Homo-oligomer: A and B are copies of this chain.
Amino acid sequence: MSKEQQSKEQQSKEQQKKAPQSAITPTRADDYPEWYQQVIKAADLAENSPTRGCMVIKPWGYALWENIQQVLDRKFKETGHVNAYFPLLIPISFFEKEAEHIEGFAKECAVVTHHRLEPGPNGTLVPAGELDEPYIIRPTSETIIGASYAKWVQSYRDLPILINQWANVMRWEMRTRMFLRTAEFLWQEGHTAHATAQEAVEETMQMLDVYEWFAHEWMAMPVIKGEKTPGEKFPGAVNTYTIEAMMQDGKALQAGTSHFLGQTFAKSSGIKFQSQSGQEEFAWTTSWGVSTRLIGGLIMTHSDDDGLICPPRLAPKHVVLIPIYRNDEEKTQILEYCHKVKKELEGVTYMGGAIRVELDARDIRGGEKTWQHIKKGTPIRAEVGPRDMQADSLFVARRDMGVKEKKGISRTEFVATIGQTLDDMHKHLFDRALAHREANTRTLTDYNEFVSWFTPKNEDKPEIHGGFALAYWSPDASAAKEINDKLASLKVTARCIPLNDKAPVGKCLFTGRETTTRVIFAKNY
């Protein structure tokens, strides 16, 4: 080692001594919202862009999205759907057709009004070529897709239409937060049309189940399936169903929604068909979607004060191999060994694919390298030094365990058990998240308890409060405004009416009316 290297090594050791106990500053306990931003930065997932409210999704973050896409796309196709693509721009007049829909989206639309630029003063460019009819950038595509379906559907034989679209959409949000709420985001939007209400409802529920399956089996994120209350449903929907997850700070994240749209959009778009009995009828439609917001949910469900923890089944790389050597001769031997292990691992089938392995042979300090992978959340780190190689073994750490918990394991066992190890980690993350949600959920029957549950104990940390509250709910028209005001003052919303809740009769927390309907209330992202 050169003098310069020695001196750097020394410096870095001193820095480590002075450094805080965790890789992320601030910690979750200190400042949860800022911790979230810092995890995104430390894991190199995304960054803010010069375009207002829009983010740049960096390669590690985008690789998570690619894995999400791949798994969901396969499932959508297995459940009979095909993909298609509809225009980004929607004529304003399409939007004018559906009043509730306007109400929901008009305040946050990016509007295209011109189709070229001309030289302006001082070398600037100014918009020119004003359009006769402006367009909005799709905030969602019910109206433009409905226009196509109206052309495609004539007879009951043309139904059902089962189409999904992977696309970018735009909602001009005032307050944005990376992955959770950005002006532009990536998503998929399923749009189906059916001959009967029952078929459309079944489709709606099927896709809600797909979302639950994805959250549980791939993200290791427990979710509650439920129906939105009328005040929270999608603009234009008859029923909106949701999966809601609890983040580590006790707030709720709406992670995916599936809407039964009844005949609302069929009527505004003119999707009509001749039924088997010869009657002209309007179709019944659904729509359902998840977005890059899932990545925000994944971060806030699992990560810790050292950075991201990727749920293993979606991790861009399952395993990182870190060679450790002191000289060129060792380097050659150890790299060769690592290549062999990599190839063996890549031969293992896992969750319908192969084990994804990174061999990080960069010439940077081992400690720095290891910390980069900790912050990026790679599930398994396996170090190989000369002695490990001699023993034909690796020194392995799991990202869901403490940073210093490492153990030697023979190469053959490591390769043979890699799938099981990842499954164990998946289960551990899921169970931990579920335990956290259960520990932070209360069934409340008293309004004062409800207020107290949602009131921060410490004014300096307004984000720390109870969590979820399950309470009876039976509003009447006269009480609706009062209830809304009460919830707004607590910054709490009705998240959903859990499906299959089967509660005995109880009294509404707000009106005292008897009901069997209960709602999960929470602060939310």
Contact = CB atoms under 8 A, between A and B. Distances in A.
B87 A49 contact: yes
Contact of A51 (B87, B118, B123): B87
Contacts of A55: 87
Q: What is the oligomeric copy number? A: 2
Interface string A95-135: 11000001000111111111111100001110101000011
Contacts of A107: 116-117
B102 A117 contact: yes
A137 B124 contact: no
B84 A59 contact: yes
Contacts of A144: 49-51
A488 to B, nearest CB: 22
A172 B113 contact: no
B110 A112 contact: yes
A365 interface: no
Interface residues of A, number: 63
A83 B56 CA distance: 12
A49 to B, nearest CB: 5
A63 B321 CA distance: 37
Contacts of A83: 59, 62-63, 66
A331 to B, nearest CB: 19
27 contacts: A47-B148, A49-B87, A49-B148, A51-B89, A55-B87, A56-B85, A57-B86, A58-B84, A59-B82, A63-B82, A66-B83, A85-B186, A88-B168, A88-B184, A92-B117, A92-B125, A93-B124, A110-B112, A110-B115, A110-B135, A111-B117, A111-B127, A113-B114, A113-B127, A116-B172, A129-B172, A137-B137
Interface of A: 47, 49-51, 54-59, 62-63, 65-66, 82-96, 102, 106-118, 123-125, 127, 129, 134-137, 144, 147-148, 151, 163, 167-168, 170, 172, 184, 186
